[in-house]
Structure 1
């Protein structure tokens, strides 16, 4: 049975292999309001990498990686880091894959966010008095994976080949019908 044939969208595949989650699911996992998520998407802090909003009523679709970054942002905000400094940190993390993100510990003194890739770098920051708190992104990845495994994910809808309904009046006028056949004249 594939990931999308189970009842109510439930899946048994790891969340990192599902294509995306709607904004409401991302909000539940991250612990933010839809208003925050919308603001962050509109201002470019974290835009959904699967499917952006295309107008009123359209649903954004967030990837597993997007939701990890959203959770990291939420933790930094909770620790008192300004949104301006978080934007700088997110820009540095933007090109990273999930595996790369999982190897990072983010440290902050409440103002600056430091990226550490080893225990030695964390210790050096603490000795220098720069790190007050840290976020082990690997722990965040594990937490997000567990939370998403209980929520329905979905694949992006392929773009339709025909964007508008056929113009039947034009077909009658020209004698053409879909498929290139001509009606009797």
Structure 2
């Protein structure tokens, strides 16, 4: 697909059949999910015989997440609960979340916490981000390195650990 065709498809949306093909589900699944309000097409919904649904790119992303959850063994009922929670707490872009699947549980990971979305946020665990630990240790080494050189050169006496 050329870039201009892709850009046009992104603004005009995707038909139901094309959406099902892209996401890797059957048209029947897509139709059922739309009729039961799991993911309704955001660009144009069906309104009577002969009308056509139009799905946005964001709809495709949500549908792919749903398919991934189902493929991981999560029941459709639980997927519905998870998406209800995600939409209420993350707003429109549920694809910004990191999901952790463990058995029948679906957890959403943010920078600071891990929440069980199937229990309406119950069982919140605090997440200790370790990304900054390396930076803190590196900064402390750089800060202490000149002191170690001064001690080695006899300019400063050795200090006890914890001395300022």
TM-score w.r.t. structure 2 length?
A: 0.59
Deviations 1:30-77 (A, max 9, x none): 100000000001111111111111112211011111111100000000
Off by >6 Å, runs of 4+ in structure 1: none
Q: 2:61 aligns with which of 46, 68, 93?
A: 68
Kept in 2: contact 1:46–1:70 (CA 8 A) = yes
Number of residues of Structure 1 aligned to a counterpart in Structure 2? 111
Task: Trace 1:45-84 onto structure 2 (pairs within 5 A).
Answer: 45-84=38-77
Alpha carbons 1:103, 1:117 under 8 Å: kept: no
Pick from 102, 110, 118: which aligns with 1:109?
Answer: 102
Q: Does 1:11 align with 2:15?
A: no
Cα RMSD (Å): 2.5
* Cα distance change on mapping 1:113 and 1:38 into 2, 3 Å: same
Structure 1 alignment gaps of length 5 or more: 1-6, 123-185
User: For residue 44 of structure 1, what is the aligned residue in structure 2?
Assistant: 37
| Structure 1 position 12, deviation (Å) | 4.8
Give the TM-score normalised by structure 1: 0.53
Residue 88 of structure 1 aligns with which residue?
81
Change (3 A) 1:30 1:43: same
The 1-side partners of 2:6 and 2:51 are apart by 27
